[in-house]
Amino acid sequence: KELSSAEIRSMFLKFFESKGHSIEPSKSLVPVDDPTLLWINSGVATLKKYFDGSVVPNNRRITNAQKSIRTNDIENVGHTARHHTLFEMMGNFSIGDYFKEDAIPWAWELLTSPEWYAMDPEKLYITVYPEDTEAKEIWLKTGVPASHIFDVADNFWDIGQGPSGPDSEIFYDRGEEFLDIPADDPENYPGGENERYLEIWNIVFSQFNHTPENTYEELPHKNIDTGMGLERVVSVFQNAKTNFETDLFMPIIKKAEELGDGVKYGDSPITDISFKVIADHARAVTFAISDSALPSNEGRGYVIRRLLRRAVLHGRKLGINGAFLTQLVPVVGHIMESYYPEVLANAEYIESVVLAEEKRFNETLSDGLKMLNDVIANVKSSDSDVIAGKVAFKLYDTYGFPYELTEEYADDEGLKVDRAGFDAEMQAQRERARAARSDAKSMGVQNPLLTDLHTESKYVGWTTEIVEDAQLADIIVDN
């Protein structure tokens, strides 16, 4: 049966409410009191205070649908059927309450019961951690045939220290026609890296404490932490080839079609990538700004800037000129209105931030693209396949091209970028900035405010270290 994304989300929450869970609202994408995390990147991320015991919830059973951003998936967007930067993770959580004996049959009931998701059990596959015979037994008892259960050694959730444990993941078989690797490839199984078996749900059984001495001790109060990707489940219900041909993305894609030079979604795989990137990044940028983050040169702000600029470049590929992302903001707001009314309510503000940022990039974009295309042509006609670090740096420093964008463009043309050379240029510029600072001092400018002003007006570009640290944090906490 064809359900809307809003119905699919609310069914999940209602199901777990019927099992005694309290529904928690979707929290801000900007983490509160959590310096280890750049963005909320999973449902459990907003519930850490319950899992680490610092706050005891009124109800130890919680369910939510949490907006999340994963920067480690930026490059996947547009290229896989299933990855987004902003997505919603639906989850059920037990804070030292129920454990595997309940979590597993409930998951199966929600997925297959005719009253709930009514998915065909034949299409569902389960992976378990090989040593977790307990989970396997419960899946079998719940009615999953052994032929649909796979051992996967990676199925262990561990962040180095603290709560950890095995997990079970649930895959939906989209059919042979989606297999994107040779049938005899070792990755061709549920749990492998392929586009046929779609991972829809991860159920973590957090039952150990990983001690500083590197041992695993059974926790006295075991927890359940699960995450189901809304967009992926919607793609299953709406019979979509990818997450994008669903009610969550198509209105954005349609609007982008209107703004372009006549190219339509579906015309070619290359232009489809651009439509997908635009639709995905428009959502992420809109939601991030709605949650009070702003484009800037570092940390969270750099992520917004990078996403926005990547979307603008893909817009150019579709013949969309001038500021256009700003026009996608209300489209995103309407799609998400039933669960996130605040986005539409904030639309005017979000549009103004996006517009200013687009204008800023558009000022140098044509010159930057011209330089990039010239460089690509030059490198191609030489016997090298590497774009010099100096060039990437100029694109970045003068034309506002985030390094990763140049790299992506180069990659499309079969070229590489000299990262070490780029880093050296960046370093040299920092040193120049430092020298300018001490010059200013030696020139007798005593007022530190004035010295600061002097260095600040000298554009020092993006601080990539900060972004890399933050991405690392994202990955570390990425369950």
- In this complex, which beta carbon is closest to Mg ion, that of residue 67 or of residue 305? 67
Q: Closest separation between CB of residue 169 and ligand ATP, Å?
A: 6
291's contact among Mg ion, ligand ATP, none, with CB below 5 to 8 A by partner kind, is: none
CA 106/CA 98 separation, integer angstroms: 11
168 lies in the binding site for Mg ion (CB under 5 A): no
Q: Are the CB atoms for 297 and 470 separated by under 8 Å?
A: no
- In this complex, which beta carbon is closest to ligand ATP, that of residue 171 or of residue 422? 171
By the criterion CB under 6 A, which residues form the site for ligand ATP?
70, 73, 82-84, 87, 89, 199-202, 227-229, 231-232, 478-479
Q: Are the CB atoms for 1 and 115 separated by under 8 Å?
A: no
Q: Closest separation between CB of residue 200 and ligand ATP, Å?
A: 5
Q: Closest separation between CB of residue 127 and Mg ion, Å?
A: 9
Q: Closest separation between CB of residue 249 and ligand ATP, Å?
A: 12
- In this complex, which beta carbon is closest to ligand ATP, that of residue 190 or of residue 229? 229
327's contact among ligand ATP, Mg ion, none, with CB below 5 to 8 A by partner kind, is: none
200's contact among Mg ion, ligand ATP, none, with CB below 5 to 8 A by partner kind, is: ligand ATP
- In this complex, which beta carbon is closest to Mg ion, that of residue 126 or of residue 410? 126
Number of residues counted as binding Mg ion (CB under 5 A) = 2
Q: Closest separation between CB of residue 70 and ligand ATP, Å?
A: 5
Residue nearest to ligand ATP (CB): 229
Q: Closest separation between CB of residue 430 and ligand ATP, Å?
A: 33
CA 378/CA 284 separation, integer angstroms: 35
- Total residues belonging to the chain: 479
290's contact among ligand ATP, Mg ion, none, with CB below 5 to 8 A by partner kind, is: none
Terminal Cα distance for the chain, rounded: 31
- In this complex, which beta carbon is closest to ligand ATP, that of residue 77 or of residue 392? 77
Q: Are the CB atoms for 265 and 242 separated by under 8 Å?
A: no
- In this complex, which beta carbon is closest to Mg ion, that of residue 38 or of residue 344? 38
- In this complex, which beta carbon is closest to ligand ATP, that of residue 73 or of residue 272? 73
Q: Closest separation between CB of residue 232 and ligand ATP, Å?
A: 5
- In this complex, which beta carbon is closest to ligand ATP, that of residue 187 or of residue 465? 187
SS3 labels along the chain: CCCCHHHHHHHHHHHHHHCCCEEECCCCCCCCCCCCCCCCCCHHHHHHHHHCCCCCCCCCEEEEEEEEECHHHHHHCCCCCCCCCEEEEEEEEECCCCCHHHHHHHHHHHHHCCCCCCCCHHHEEEEECCCCHHHHHHHHHHCCCHHHEEECCCCEECCCCEEEEEEEEEEEECCHHHCCCCCCCCCCCCCCCCCCEEEEEEEEEEEEEECCCCCEEEEEEEEEEEEEEHHHHHHHHCCCCCCCCCCCCHHHHHHHHHHCCCCCCCCCHHHHHHHHHHHHHHHHHHHHHHCCCCCCCCHHHHHHHHHHHHHHHHHHHCCCCCCCHHHHHHHHHHHCCCCCHHHHHCHHHHHHHHHHHHHHHHHHHHHHHHHHHHHHHHHHHCCCCEECHHHHHHHHHHHCCCHHHHHHHHHHCCCEECHHHHHHHHHHHHHHHHHHHHHHHHCCCCCHHHHHHHHHHCCCCCCHHHHHHHHHHHHHHCC
Q: Closest separation between CB of residue 446 and ligand ATP, Å?
A: 51
231's contact among Mg ion, ligand ATP, none, with CB below 5 to 8 A by partner kind, is: ligand ATP
227's contact among Mg ion, ligand ATP, none, with CB below 5 to 8 A by partner kind, is: ligand ATP
Residue 135 phi, psi (nearest 5):
-60, -45
Window 184 to 213, contacts with Mg ion (CB under 5 A): 199, 202
Binding letters toward Mg ion, positions 391-430, x by CB under 5 A: ----------------------------------------
Q: Closest separation between CB of residue 368 and ligand ATP, Å?
A: 28
- In this complex, which beta carbon is closest to Mg ion, that of residue 232 or of residue 255? 232
- In this complex, which beta carbon is closest to ligand ATP, that of residue 75 or of residue 342? 75
Q: Closest separation between CB of residue 68 and ligand ATP, Å?
A: 8
List contacts with Mg ion (CB under 5 A): 199, 202
